[in-house]
């Protein structure tokens, strides 16, 4: 039994904090087949987390995903308005390791060590609004850890955008 507990503890300690998974919501009454063009909405105030390079990459990933869905970008008069925002929060994870020694009932001289790990999580939200009615018709969210390495963050952003728009248009 102690061996099983040790194995489970090690698995939990080595597993990622958050598995990126996109969640989408959409207006069930919208007819997505009538949307053919999009334009970028005014920039959101919640993108200070991303520097200009990451913002440019993110815009490119969204434009690539929309082009794959046969939507054409226009400067004015698009059927849809697209915007994104990025929020961050810190998540603390506590991991306890014990040596498993002690007498019956857990009494004895066992040693346990608890470590604390703080991870910064970023949540990307992409909003797609019908430009005529000004109603939100599609929203995708994805949360993943933010790395100190820009290459890792670029891959995570690309994956997040891909997962969000693989569910567009909703069926």
Residue 91 in domain:
yes
Summarize pLDDT for 59-110 with one digit per residue, the tens.
999 999 999 999 999 999 999 999 999 888 888 888 887 766 655 555 656 6
The C-alpha atoms of residue 65 and residue 48 are separated, in whole angstroms, by 23
Residue 1 in domain:
no
Residue 143 in domain:
yes
CB atoms near residue 63 (< 10 Å) = 16
* Confidence band of 49 (pLDDT split at 50, 70, 90): low
Residue 11 in domain:
no
Residue 86 in domain:
yes
Strands (E), the chain: 23-26, 37-40, 72-73, 80-98, 112-130, 136-145
Residue 81 in domain:
yes
What's the structural domain count of the chain? 1
What CATH number corresponds to the domain at position 129?
Answer: 3.30.160.670
Residue 159's domain comprises 17-97+109-165
Question: Residue 112: CB partners within 8 Å, gap ≥ 6?
Answer: 96, 97, 98, 99
Summarize pLDDT for 145-164 with one digit per residue, the tens.
988 899 999 999 999 999 99
Question: Comparing C-alpha atoms, which of 160, 126, 137, 110 is closest to residue 40?
Answer: 126
């Amino acid at each position: 039994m102690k061996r099983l507990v040790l194995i489970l503890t090690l698995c939990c300690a080595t597993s990622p904090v958050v598995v990126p998974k996109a969640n989408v919501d959409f207006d069930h009454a919208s007819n997505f087949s009538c949307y053919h063009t999009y334009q970028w909405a005014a920039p959101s105030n919640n993108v200070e987390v991303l520097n200009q390079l990451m913002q440019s990459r993110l815009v490119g990933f969204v434009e690539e995903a929309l082009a794959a869905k046969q939507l054409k970008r226009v400067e004015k008069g698009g059927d849809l308005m697209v915007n994104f925002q990025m929020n961050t929060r810190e998540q603390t994870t506590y991991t306890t390791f014990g040596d498993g020694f002690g007498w019956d009932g857990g009494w004895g001289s066992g040693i346990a060590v608890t470590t604390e790990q703080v991870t910064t999580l970023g949540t990307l939200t992409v909003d797609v609004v019908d430009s005529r009615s000004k109603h939100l018709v599609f929203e995708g969210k994805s949360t993943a850890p933010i790395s100190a390495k820009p290459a890792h963050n670029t891959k995570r952003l690309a994956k997040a955008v891909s997962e969000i728009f693989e569910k567009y248009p909703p069926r």
